[in-house]
Amino acid sequence: MSEAVPPSETSLSETPLSETLRERAGSIRTESIQTGAIPVIALGTEVSPSERFMAELLTGQGTRDDYTALLAQHFFVYRALEAAAELRAGDPVAARFISPALTRLPAIREDLRFLVGDDWEARIEPLETTRRYVERIETVAATSTGGFVAHHYTRYLGDLAGCQVIRTLMQRQFGFETNGVGFWLFAGIAKPKEFKSVYRAQLDSVGWTDAERQQVLDEVAVAYRLTEDMFGGLVARSAAAA
């Protein structure tokens, strides 16, 4: 009879990948933004750049210009990610996660046209932190399955989770109707919670090797860090404009 493996010696691969990702995300402070929660920042409390920027935006302290800057940076990130999706479309694993219902670039373009003007593309530029984020997507997500899935998971499930709350608050604060908030409207996804459950089930159904699984976990951590760096750039930009 074989001996039972003590819990501390249980292989990481025995835990579903989606569960491991959620456990690790629980220790990453951007999760409060991804679930649509509005962080309450007490005086003297140390917070992440994403928490600070989004808390100010969602509580009326941020400006329309701050909001526009956020969408502008999303444009560069999603342009790179959706270009990577086109490159990975023939990959049987990556293709499981690619869905037209998630595509954000057309909506971002329309939002920026409304917020900035017809010449919006000539008037925006990526922050240095966003440039690094885009470079990572282009060098990792566009060239490896695990890297692509990691960045795809981080961006789309994060933005999908908070979309309804953010859209409603931006409409209320800036007087938007449908224009300007298209990015947060996933019209092809009637039930976001169910969609995310199916997505996570797909993550678990892939026959990842231990090395591939670890690559996904490591790259998700990189994606979170790059997201925080991008928000750090947005916080600095907002402070400089004040």
Residue 83's pLDDT is 97
238: tokens are 């907002």
- Here the tokens at position 235 are 């916080």
- pLDDT confidence of residue 32: 40
pLDDT computed for residue 8 by the predictor: 38
On whether the CB atoms of residues 234 and 70 are closer than 8 A, the answer is yes
pLDDT score at 45? 56
What is the pLDDT at residue 26?
Answer: 57
Q: Which residues in the chain come in under a pLDDT of 50?
A: 1-11, 27-44
Which domains, and CATH codes, for the chain?
47-241 (1.20.910.10)
Cα gap 31→28, rounded to integer Å: 6
Encode pLDDT of 57-106 as tens digits: 999 999 999 999 999 999 999 999 999 999 999 999 999 999 999 999 99
Query: If we measure between CA atoms, which residue out of 49, 99, 94 comes closest to residue 227?
Result: 49
Give the pLDDT of residue 31.
Answer: 42
pTM for the model stands at 0.88
Question: In a 3-state reduction of DSSP, which class is residue 10?
Answer: coil
CA distance linking residue 95 with residue 1, whole number of Å: 42
